[in-house]
Amino acid sequence: MKIQILSLVVILFTLGCSKESVPSHQEQRAPSLKMATVKTQIEKPFNSKNPADSIGIIHNQALTFIYRKLSQNGGFSSEMKQKFVGEFFKNRYGGEPLKALLQRHKQNQQIKNLEIKDLTEKLGCSRTLAKNINDIFLAAKEMKSPSDYGAFKKKILVVEDNVLSGKIKISRTEADQLLHFTSIYRHSMFFWMEAISKSPGKSEAEFLRKFIRAILGAGADAYGAVASLITYVSFRYVLEDAALDSAMMLWAFDS
């Protein structure tokens, strides 16, 4: 996805800044990644004010279940990830959700090649909704270590407060979509950052590799949520689609 490429470009550009160079008064030094290879306490993701917060909670329950199953089976293949996504939602809602989920996943591949701003335009979002979604993706790109999760969460809470207070002028439907999106992204980012903070690696290079993959994992998650929220009415579909997109990015965190 282009969002993945853009994230990598931003990070690689950041790393390319020389520590020895002294910028002029007119220049600004690009912020560097915090190569913290120590465990970090991550702020909890919950926001009881958001009436849609349960969707993010269930989403992380799904990721935790899938990761545990993958670890127990000793393999992180695409087939196993898909299997356990289907198993989680079958256990929760009944039926056989995997076949329909994989069909939607295949159908969405074309729009998932779009940048997020192009995706919101293609899906017919209002300018206000599109701007708030894009701003949250930009906030994720500003993160340089798991400890930055608190600042990321704070920016989302401001958006949620503004939606609930009516400061953000959008339709009731789009307000509902935005609150579900922020809940999923806020919780998903916590899942990935907590995983990295518990197993940051033994070197700066290892930390960087894991951190990049975690940012991309949360981004894939949020991207899938946007596509599903705008194209489907069922919030169960949103849960399933976002969980699959994120699960496909999972790896053994302690490796």
The domain locations on the chain are 2-6+50-247
Q: Which segments of the chain have a pLDDT < 70?
A: 1-39, 233, 255
Per residue in 54-75, pLDDT (tens digit) is 999 999 999 999 999 999 998 8
The closest alpha carbon to 226, from 166, 140, 142, belongs to 140
Residue 231 C-beta-side C-alpha neighbours within 13 Å: 20
d(CA 160, CA 191): 20
Tell me the per-residue pLDDT of 99-122, one tens digit each, with 9 for 90 and over.
999 999 888 877 877 999 999 999
C-alpha 244/C-alpha 240 separation (Å) is 6
CA distances for 198 relative to 124, 142, 190, 194, 219, angstroms:
40, 21, 12, 6, 20
Contact 33, 11 (CB under 8 A): yes
Q: Closest Cα to residue 106, out of 249, 250, 244, 247? A: 244
Task: State the CB neighbour count (10 A cutoff) for residue 180.
Answer: 25
Distance (Å, whole) CA 59 – CA 243: 6
